[in-house]
Amino acid sequence: MAEAPEARDEWRVEAELDEPDDERSLSERLRALELDDQARERLSDRVIVTRDGPRVFLYAGDEGAAREAERVMRDLLAADGLSATVSLTRWHPVEEDWKDASAPLPTSEAELEAERERRLAAETREVAEEGEFDWEVRVELEGHRATADLAERLEAEGLHVVRRWRYLLVGVLTEEGGSELADRILAEAPPGASARVEPRFSEPTHPLLVFFESR
């Protein structure tokens, strides 16, 4: 049986309040732990509370703590007469997404591959919408001509390539895909070439500075 990558179990309770003005009161009560003694003991160290506009999130490290947090959330909402949609989800590290708590983590190779495909599809949509890649392969070759030739071949494959002198930045969707591309580039490139995959900077950085700063 295939095994998913080891990762810390993560659970999340989300309450999306119907009235945005209600979220501050609920969030402040949770942060201050103005709860009964039993709930305070159960949630104080095991649950992290955050909020984003009308949504309040409670993060827990195991199912038991998450379900207790869900119960406390529902009790608080009922006590204050607040209306909200409450959901319990679990982080799926392969798909990199929050899924309903009833969905088990993948165990078979087929299930793992299905999650990889869904993640790839989501990242493809994200690139199409935002025009940015999360990862890039950074390539350095010894000659300008070899760099130009490689850039042309990669662009012919439909890859997004930035070329500056003897350096290339190739946008990729995933770290795994970037590693495969880097290995292929090294196998096909002239001796002396280097290629590595790294997360893309959140702010635009001049390609030459990227190489110089990383040395």
Give the CATH number of the domain where residue 137 resides: 3.30.70.790
- Specify the DSSP class assigned to residue 201: P
Find the mean pLDDT for residues 172-201. Answer: 88
Is 50 exceeded by the pLDDT of residue 112? yes
- pLDDT on residue 35: 39
The reported pTM is 0.56
Q: Are residues 57 and 81 in the same domain?
A: yes
Q: Are residues 182 and 92 in the same domain?
A: no
Q: Are residues 60 and 39 in the same domain?
A: yes
Residues 23 and 54: their CA atoms lie apart, in Å, by 5
Residues 78 and 83: their CA atoms lie apart, in Å, by 8
* Contact between 196 and 167 (Cβ < 8 Å): no
Q: Are residues 138 and 114 in the same domain?
A: no
Q: Which of 75, 103, 130 is the last residue of a domain?
A: 130
| Residue of 48, 44, 65, 58 lying closest to 15 (CA atoms) | 58
Q: Are residues 177 and 123 in the same domain?
A: no
Q: Which of 87-101, 154-168, 191-205 is predicted least confidently?
A: 191-205
Q: Are residues 107 and 155 in the same domain?
A: no
Is 50 exceeded by the pLDDT of residue 122? yes
Look at the chain and report how many structural domains it folds into: 2
Q: Which domain holds residue 189?
A: 132-213
> Which residue is associated with the tokens 């070439």?
193
Q: Are residues 144 and 97 in the same domain?
A: no
Residues 4 and 162: their CA atoms lie apart, in Å, by 34
Q: Are residues 44 and 150 in the same domain?
A: no
Q: Which of 74, 105, 130 is the last residue of a domain?
A: 130
Q: Are residues 96 and 148 in the same domain?
A: no
Q: Are residues 126 and 22 in the same domain?
A: yes
- Specify the DSSP class assigned to residue 47: E
Q: Which of 115, 130, 145 is the last residue of a domain?
A: 130
Q: Are residues 113 and 141 in the same domain?
A: no
- pLDDT on residue 1: 43
Q: Are residues 93 and 178 in the same domain?
A: no
CATH number of the domain residue 54 falls in: 3.30.70
Q: What is the mean pLDDT of the chain?
A: 78
Is 70 exceeded by the pLDDT of residue 98? yes
3-state DSSP assignment of residue 28: helix
Sign of the torsion angle spanned by Cα atoms 18, 52, 102, 69: negative
> What's the pLDDT band for 109 if we cut at 50, 70, 90?
very high
> What's the pLDDT band for 183 if we cut at 50, 70, 90?
very high
